[in-house]
């Protein structure tokens, strides 16, 4: 039997409330999943946030997106989307161009190298997600998705 959260965190006192325990359980689970994702992406030179940004830009297609659109679509918020896109551009995975009359408007697009990298990672990430959560089964996963959505949108 797997350890419960209290023993996993080596906490001696009971949680202050069910809500407190639930928040910690969500945070701990997210940290565990994030760590294994980061470890899987590390050999490819990517962080989970960089991977997320590349997937967002792949989904945007040839139109690309401006910095704020990328920032707003990220799973985890970042304080500086410009720096995130700078790094991806330096890696040759993203290209940016000023467009239109407003010189401040810069559109980001994924490069062929970025598409190829994501293409190589697609199966690996799908298999990782299966290892992380596949043991729950379809019904539990659907329930989990609904419960997390309700928690995010009270």
Greater confidence (5 vs 114) lies with 114
CA pair distance 96, 114, nearest whole angstrom: 13
CA pair distance 96, 85, nearest whole angstrom: 9
Give the pLDDT score at 1.
36
**CB neighbour burial string for 37-75, b if at least 16 within 10 angstroms, e if fewer:** beebbeeeebebbbbbbbbbbeebeeebbbbeebbeeee
**DSSP letter at 79?**
S
Q: What is the pLDDT of residues 82-116, one digit of tens each?
A: 999 999 999 999 999 887 766 667 899 999 999 99
Give the pLDDT score at 6.
79
Query: Helices (H), strands (E): how many in the chain?
Result: 7, 3
Q: Judge whether residue 38 has pLDDT over 90.
A: yes
CA pair distance 113, 63, nearest whole angstrom: 17
The domain locations on the chain are: 5-152
Give the pLDDT score at 102.
67
Site of tokens 């209290």:
6
The model's pTM:
0.87
May I ask the CATH architecture of the domain 5-152? Orthogonal Bundle (1.10)
């Amino acid at each position: 039997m797997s350890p419960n959260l209290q023993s996993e965190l080596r906490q001696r006192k009971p949680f202050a409330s069910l809500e407190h325990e639930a928040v910690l359980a969500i945070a701990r689970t997210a940290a565990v999943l994030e760590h294994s994702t980061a470890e899987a992406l590390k050999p490819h030179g990517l962080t989970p946030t960089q991977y997320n940004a590349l997937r967002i830009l792949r989904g945007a297609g040839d139109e690309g997106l401006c910095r704020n659109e990328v920032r707003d679509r990220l799973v985890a918020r970042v304080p500086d989307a410009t720096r995130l896109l700078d790094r991806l551009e330096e890696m040759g995975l993203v290209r940016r161009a000023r467009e239109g009359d407003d010189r401040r408007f810069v559109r980001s697009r994924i490069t062929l190298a970025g598409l190829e990298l994501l293409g190589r990672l697609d199966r690996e990430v799908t298999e990782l997600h299966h290892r992380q959560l596949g043991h729950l089964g379809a019904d539990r996963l659907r329930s989990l998705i609904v419960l997390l959505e309700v928690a995010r949108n009270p």
